[in-house]
Amino acid sequence: MSFVLHIDGERWRAGHDQFVADRPGIVPVIKGNGYGFGRDLLCAEASRLGVPMVAVGTYTELPEALAAYGGDVLVMEPYRAAIHAAVPDLANRRAVHTVTSHADLDGLRGATPEARVVVEGLTSMNRFGTPANEVAELAGAADAIGATLHLPLGTGHIDEITRFIAAVPGVRSWFVSHVSTAELATLAERHPEHEFRPRVGTDLWYADKGSYEVRAHVLDVRPVAKGTPAGYRQRPLPAGHVVVVSGGTSHGVAMESPSSAATPRSRAIAVAEGVLEAAHRVRSPFTVSGVMPRFAEPPHMQCSLLSLPAGVAPPRVGDEVTVRMRLTTTTPDAVIVS
């Protein structure tokens, strides 16, 4: 247990309470690596929040969510008769399916006649969906409980949503993704007869960014003279200390893009040499003795070699160091809620 996501439970939950209070009808999204926290923990958190529905990304994630959470579970990937006809829990009454075509609707109802569905409209995202002028017909045929719209990041969605609402007069509930609270307020004001249900993951689970952090252990520390070779690549180190910390590629510790290199020159070198070869010029996400040292070489599977510059006090074996990472691609050894 050495690469651990620590959560201050009280503070983390308070952030969610406030976020949910500000967004009536919110549908928390629980998918992938559970935003770093794990899907089961988020299901438990959704239960505590008392929301009536959560959304998962895929059918693979459905059974676990149905087991860990007692409300409705919306599957955001569209049902495809060719792919999903035999997936577990298709007929579970708490599952809500997304459809984008008559063929898939027929396949789904053939497998489970009572299936509850939403119809997804094809937005400027251009990912999944039914063209706006066909949503009304499909939603009618499906007796859909609502329509869904997945919009690009950013704002400026009101016009696009308004076009759908005008084209689909029979639908009252709209599940929308990536719509700001200001946009939601505008929509609610303009369309009081409709209900808008924001599907939110990132902004909800990371509502209070100070309420959690990833910490790694210092596994070894050694003073080195300038030019000492180290690592798989035997690259010469600068003078200072080589510090071995827990956390490697299996945890999601990766070379950052060249944009994280310190100077325009080092960015240019990183691009020219390829990011991996530029490792010793790239800052690591670990904070050691108040600085973010560079990688001595690309991270290993479960640990990383860092090059701590001369003049910086070395840490001790067993010390904990914080890691600044994007949690959607982090796989910690453990998640500890205190």
Ligand X SMILES: *Cc1c(COP(=O)(O)O)cnc(C)c1O
Question: Which residues contribute to the site for ligand X (CB under 6 A)?
Answer: 29, 31, 57, 76, 150, 177, 199-203
Q: Minimal distance in Å, beta carbon 199 to ligand X?
A: 4
Q: Which residues pair with 321 in a beta bridge?
A: 216
Structure tokens at 130: 């039914």
For 50: left if phi > 0, alpha if psi spans -120 to 50, otherwise beta; the answer is left
Nearer of residues 5 and 76 to ligand X, judged by Cβ: 76
Q: Minimal distance in Å, beta carbon 314 to ligand X?
A: 39
Q: Minimal distance in Å, beta carbon 142 to ligand X?
A: 18
Nearer of residues 29 and 187 to ligand X, judged by Cβ: 29
Nearer of residues 205 and 295 to ligand X, judged by Cβ: 205
Cα–Cα distance between 224 and 219 in angstroms, integer?
Answer: 16
Nearer of residues 3 and 128 to ligand X, judged by Cβ: 128
β-strands 286-287, 320-323 pairing: antiparallel
Question: Closest-CB residue for ligand X?
Answer: 201
Cα–Cα distance between 195 and 186 in angstroms, integer?
Answer: 12
Q: Give backbone dihedrals phi and psi of 18, rounded to 5 degrees, phi first.
A: -65, -45
Contacts of 193 (CB under 8 A, 6+ apart): 172
Nearer of residues 200 and 218 to ligand X, judged by Cβ: 200
Q: Minimal distance in Å, beta carbon 221 to ligand X?
A: 38
Q: Minimal distance in Å, beta carbon 154 to ligand X?
A: 11
Q: 118, 32, 34: which is closest to 72 by C-alpha?
A: 118
